[in-house]
């Protein structure tokens, strides 16, 4: 894969009433985000939308216009509430067609499970011009259309599809990070964090407080695409914590 | 609270680089969604945006224009990356001011913890005209400005703020739901689901497949604001499952 200093971004549309009702706890945002980091691609925005075609169309069109890649999760199964393929085809202005290879995959997958029926055949439908993303877990493939990737909602099926895409996408320099943490109230070192970030161009410091064992603490994450800058910033932050008398642990706690 | 047949909607903006990097798994979407259901308010859309003012402004303005309520989580702490108050003030075109009651709360909270400093005082800043949302967990209050609610990112602090708001918001009839599940492949009953939904106006059926103990199964969730319609739809769906020879469990599995 070509490496470049340009920043590549992706957006994710999570599709499904079950997330918006609170019934299902989304796991795909975190797993797609982590996977993208390894590919050198930054997740720039996520939208969670209901199973309503016009809302999916709006999100897909807004986000694909300003990102290098767009992923969706959810809504590609066999039932009436699975409308992602139709919505994406509408967003792109292309027809929905049966993909012959997807049909063959599903025929093989269901050969000893009662064969294809109307619902199962729905999973062979793709926006015209699409390729398939392999699904080792459950037959029905994901769908790729240029820089647009339609994936399953069930997290471990999504994981398999991401795995199949590993190394296939052009990305930039991966974002590196270093973490330092301790039972340190972030409100006592806000000035140190701000000044340290300012002194190290190309580095960003995030502050993530927690309450654990009845005590207040924080992890501080420094991010940069440059190893030298990152290490210098980390060294300065740790020296600052020493100066203020805080115990800290590299890697975070 | 006034009850009405009108549907009330809310949107949520989750603010924070830590969610988009995959470092932190969001828990606020699910908890805000579940809480809203009980208030009779539908979560219509969620956006996850980075700690970048213009992206927060864009999301806040897009979503508040088309929903009755707007919630944000994250970015109201003491450090330089906490920019939610500034971004929301910019979105609304109002100034940022120190809220005297918030300042007093923080002075009391930190009295034996080293007192107020620049970072801690940041947590008393609000968009002009705001009220406070009590925070029993950690001093720094949430912020309410009309139908806009700025809450913490740490989930158990957010939970306390939601608790303080319970019963305060006008909502419609709460969305009711019934669930039936079993080791039933959704792809074998797609037609039954579609036809049952069509036959019961005001009911929606969601189909949520899973893989467990090496077997394929699904839970089917029927949602409606009307108890009679919901019960009739549930009865029909269960009768349909019986007819097709599937074992099922009310409440889901």
pLDDT of residue A121: 95
User: How close A90 comes to chain B (CA, Å)?
Assistant: 20
For the stretch A146-155, pLDDT in tens is 999 999 999 9
How confident is residue A89, by pLDDT bands cut at 50, 70 and 90? very high
Give the pLDDT confidence score for residue A49 in this predicted structure: 98
Chain A nearest-CA distance from B131, in A, is 22
Q: Does residue B138 belong to the interface with chain A, where contact is any CB pair within 8 Å? A: yes
User: Tokens 């216009």 identify what position?
Assistant: A65
Q: What is the pLDDT of residues A209-225, one digit of tens each?
A: 888 888 889 999 999 98
Q: Which two tokens stand for residue A106?
A: 């599903």
Long-range contacts of A156-165 (CB under 8 A, 24+ apart): A156/B211, A158/A28, A158/A31, A158/A32, A158/A73, A159/A31, A160/A134, A160/A135, A160/A136, A161/A133, A161/A134, A161/A135, A162/A31, A162/A32, A162/A35, A164/A133, A164/A134, A164/A135, A164/A136, A165/A133
Cβ of A187 within 8 Å of Cβ of B117? The answer is yes
Q: Between residues 211 and 230 of chain B, which touch chain A (CB distance below 8 Å)?
A: 211, 216, 221, 223
Do A208 and B50 make contact, defined as CB atoms within 8 angstroms?
Answer: no
On whether any CB of chain A is under 8 Å from the CB of B46, the answer is yes
**Chain B CB within 8 Å of residue A19 CB:** yes
Q: What pLDDT sits at residue B4?
A: 46
Rounded (to 5) percent helix, strand, coil in chain B:
35, 25, 35
Chain A to chain B Cβ contacts (< 8 Å):
217
Pairwise CA distance, residues B184 & B243, whole Å = 13
Task: Give pLDDT, residue B190.
Answer: 94
Name the band, by pLDDT with cuts 50, 70 and 90, for residue A29. very high
Residue A38: predicted pLDDT: 85
Domain ranges of chain A: 8-165, 176-250
B8-165 and B176-250: identical CATH topology: no
Confidence at residue B1, expressed as pLDDT on a 0 to 100 scale: 38
The residue with tokens 């964090």 is A193
Rounded distance, CA B193 to CA B190, Å?
A: 5
Phi–psi pair at A186, nearest 5 degrees:
-60, -30
CATH number given to A8-165: 3.40.980.10
pLDDT in tens, A184-214: 999 999 999 999 999 998 899 999 888 888 8
Q: Which stretches of chain B score pLDDT less than 70?
A: 1-5
Spatial distance between the Cα atoms of A158 and B111, rounded to a whole number of angstroms:
50
Contacts of B82 in chain A (CB under 8 A): 207
Q: Given the DSSP bridges, would you call strands A249-250 and A204-212 parallel, antiparallel or unpaired?
A: unpaired
- pLDDT at residue A63 is higher than 70: yes
Residues contacting B245, CB < 8 A, separation 6+: none
pLDDT at residue A2 above 50?
A: no
A211 contacts B119? CB cut-off 8 A:
no
Superfamily of domain A176-250 in the CATH hierarchy: ACT domain (3.30.70.260)
pLDDT of residue A5 exceeding 80, the answer is no
Tell how strand A131-133 and strand A142-145 pair up: antiparallel
Q: How confident is the model at residue A6 (pLDDT cuts 50, 70, 90)?
A: confident
User: How do residues A155-185 score in pLDDT, each as one tens digit?
Assistant: 999 999 999 999 899 998 888 899 999 999 9
**Cα dihedral angle (B99, B101, B105, B107), rounded to 10 degrees?**
70
Using an 8 Å CB-CB cutoff, list chain A residues near B81.
Answer: 204-207
């Amino acid at each position: 894969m070509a490496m470049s200093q340009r920043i590549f971004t992706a957006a994710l549309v999570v599709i499904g009433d079950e997330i918006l009702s609170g019934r299902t706890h989304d796991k795909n945002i975190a797993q797609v985000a982590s996977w993208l980091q390894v590919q050198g691609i930054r997740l720039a925005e996520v939208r969670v939308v209901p199973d309503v075609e016009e809302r999916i169309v709006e999100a897909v069109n807004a986000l694909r216009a300003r990102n290098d890649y767009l992923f969706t999760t959810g809504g590609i199964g066999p039932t009436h509430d699975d409308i992602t393929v139709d919505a994406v085809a509408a967003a792109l202005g292309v027809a929905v067609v049966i993909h012959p290879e997807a049909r063959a995959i599903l025929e093989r997958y269901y050969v000893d499970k009662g064969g294809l029926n109307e619902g199962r055949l729905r999973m062979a439908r793709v926006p015209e011009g699409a390729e398939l993303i392999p699904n080792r877990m459950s037959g029905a493939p994901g769908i790729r259309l240029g820089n647009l990737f339609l994936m399953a909602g069930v997290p471990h099926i999504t994981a398999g599809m991401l795995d199949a895409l590993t190394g296939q996408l052009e990305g930039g320099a991966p974002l590196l990070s270093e973490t330092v943490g301790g039972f340190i109230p972030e409100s006592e070192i806000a000035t140190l964090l701000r000044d340290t970030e300012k002194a190290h161009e190309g580095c960003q410091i995030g502050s993530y407080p927690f309450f654990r064992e009845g005590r207040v603490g924080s992890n501080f994450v420094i991010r940069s695409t440059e190893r030298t800058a990152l290490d210098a910033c980390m060294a300065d932050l740790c020296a600052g914590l020493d100066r203020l008398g805080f115990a800290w642990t590299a890697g975070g706690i």
